[in-house]
Structure formats: structure tokens, C-alpha cells
Amino acid sequence: MTITSPHLGSPSVWTDARLLYALEEVVENELNRHLKVARDWMPHEYVPWGDGRNFPGFFEDGVAWEKEQSKVTDIGRIALVVNLLTEDNLPSYHHEIATLFGRDGAWGTWVHRWTAEEGRHGIVMRDYLLASRAVDPDQLERFRMAHMSEGFESDNRHSMLHSVAYVAFQELATRISHRNTGHQSGDPVCDRMLARIATDENLHMVFYRNLLKAAFEIAPDLTMQAVRDVVVGFRMPGHGIPGFERAAAQMAIGEVYNLRIHHDDVLQPVLRFLKVLQIDGLGPEGLRAQEELGLFMDGLDSEATRFDEKLATRKARMAARAEA
């Protein structure tokens, strides 16, 4: 795909390859910074192995899973399954970013490092869920097979800038989802595990956010359009999970992830840090994208307020029923 920017002298032409080359030094600097602050951790140290028991199948003493065995709340089980199935698609995510960013130089080093770090998340979550019997293991495996058999294709695979913009928001969204799942799980062991994962996700967000900042400096109009497109059309990578819409609705009501959280805790922090709505000197296309982004955020805030009001009404109704 060929894209142009009036800010670097018409008819200067940006291609994804030229953008990758232009941002290579930034990637190297961010990679070095990341490696200095990231802390290695052992997934097995976060798993309550002593709680584990054999499941039926090949073991004569195997015990079938029952809901009463789970220490986590109902919303905790729903969110944990969604979060783990999202992590399970790591092979597809790796393929996407390796294809877009390449396997050479600083870009390639980051692609492989990111994949290795993300791999821990799926490992520790599955081990925790099985050892603690938090969720139905048979259903979890059926969902995993269905989800991964469908594969994953990013909405933003057509553009390197769109992909960078997307992951800047998505990594933060994943961090928030994991952190809130831990808070709502009712199990301190689960909360501690997800807090560790959330720390990684935050570092990944910082990497991509800083890369997006550099992109604004070299191609502001194009980057503004990419951010506008990503924010307006944002979808979590787990949207293809079986029953995702129902699970997402339950997670919204359970205050794991909803419109208010998406607006206040995911979109706004990144936009505010980058001062996206305050950038000046844009060309016509960039300015239009900035204005459309501002209007969308205002509309999303209003929509989130309506959701807040409905949620408050629901809570009051349920409290009244409990007291009756």
C-alpha cells in the first residue's frame, strides 16, 4: 500500500517499508528501554499446584469438574475464559506482526521478544485455571479448538501505521481487562497472577505508544488518520471467541470492561498522553481526521454515560430485591 504525507514535501511518498525504516532507530531505543525495565518472572510460581487433582479420563482417581469446586466468582469465570482464549491466539498474532514488522533488525528482535513475553500469559493462566479448577476444563478446550481453528486476521493488517495505532490501545485494553478480572475474581491468587500479567501488558503498551508518538512526528496526517480509524472501529482481538457477544455483555455489567472503562481507562489515557486532539499544523486530511476523532470521543462519552445510568438503575433494582 502507498500512502503520502504533505508534511515531508510533496510528492514524497510513504510506503510501509519506508515507515518501518524511518522508525527503526526509535524501535531500537524503545527495545533497549524495555529490556532494562522488564522483569523476568516464572509462571509456575503463580500457580497453586497444591490445589490440583486428577481429572477423569486415564486416571482412576480422577474427579470431574463441578462449579462448586471453583473459588472464583461467576463473572470471574466468564472473564477468565475470554481473557485466556484471547491469549491463546498468540500464534496468529505473531504471524500478523512478523509479517507487518519483519523478522530483521530491531523490529524482528521486538517481535520475538514480545511473543516470548506474551507466551507466559497463556501458560500461567491455563495452569492456574486447571490447578484451581476455576472453570470447566472440557468447555475451555472445546472453546480453544473452535477459536483457534477459525484463525485471526487483524482489522488493521493492511497498514503498518494502523497496526501500531491499534496495539497501542489494545495492549492497554488487555491490561485493564486482566486487572479488573483479578479484582472481580474473588480469589487473591487469581488477582495476584493477573496483576503480574497486567504489568507486562502495560510495558507493551508503553512501547507501542511511544512508537506512535514518533510516527506522529514524521507523518502526522497519516498517523492521525490511522488513529481515527482505529479508535472508531476498535474491536478486541477475542471478538471471534464462541459466545463472545454474550460474554462481553456480562463483563460490561460486571464492570470488567464496558464503554465507560473503554473511554476513560483505555482511549483517553493514550490520546491525552500523545496530545492527539491538540496537535496543530495538520493538512486537510489530518485535520478532518482529528475533528472526526474528537466528535467520536464526545459521542462515546455520552453513550458511556447512558450505560452508567442503566447500570446504576440495575444495581439499585437488585439491591431492592435483596432487601425485600
pLDDT tens sequence across 82-104: 999 999 999 999 999 999 899 99
C-alpha cell at 320: 431492592
- Residue 60 parent element (H or E): none
Distance CA 296, CA 274 (A): 17
Query: In degrees, to the nearest 5, what angle opens at C-alpha 36 toward C-alphas 30 and 41?
Result: 115
Mean pLDDT across 158-178? 95
At residue 27, φ and ψ (nearest 5 deg) are -60, -45
Q: What is the DSSP string of 123-162?
A: HHHHHHHHHHT-S-HHHHHHHHHHHHHH----TTTT-HHH
Q: Where does the pLDDT of residue 319 fall: very low under 50, low under 70, confident under 90, or very high at 90 and above?
A: confident
The greatest distance separating any two alpha carbons of the chain, rounded to the nearest whole angstrom, comes to 74
Average confidence (pLDDT) over 186-212? 97
The neighbour count for residue 39, using CB atoms within 10 Å, is: 8
pLDDT band at 12 (very low <50, low <70, confident <90, very high): low
Give the pLDDT confidence score for residue 156 in this predicted structure.
87
pLDDT given for residue 72 in this prediction: 97
Listed in sequence order, the residues at least 6 apart from 66 whose beta carbon sits closer than 8 Å to its beta carbon are none
Asked if the model's pLDDT at residue 262 lies above 70, the reply is yes
Separation between Cα atoms, residue 177 and residue 290, nearest integer Å: 27
pLDDT of 260: 96
Higher pLDDT residue, 8 or 51? Answer: 51
pLDDT of res. 13: 75
Neighbours of 65 (CB within 10 A): 19
CA-derived radius of gyration, the chain: 21
| Averaged pLDDT, 105-114 | 96
Per-residue pLDDT for 129 more than 60?
yes
For residues 83-100, one letter each, b for 16 or more C-beta atoms within 10 angstroms of the residue's C-beta and e for the rest, the string is bbbbbbbbebbbbbbeeb
Could you tell me the pTM of the whole model?
0.92
| pLDDT band, residue 313 (cuts 50/70/90) | very high
Assign 242 a pLDDT band (cuts: 50, 70, 90).
confident
Is 36's pLDDT higher than 60?
yes
d(CA 101, CA 110): 9
Instruction: Assess whether pLDDT exceeds 80 at residue 7.
Output: no
* Whole-number percent of the chain with pLDDT over 70: 96
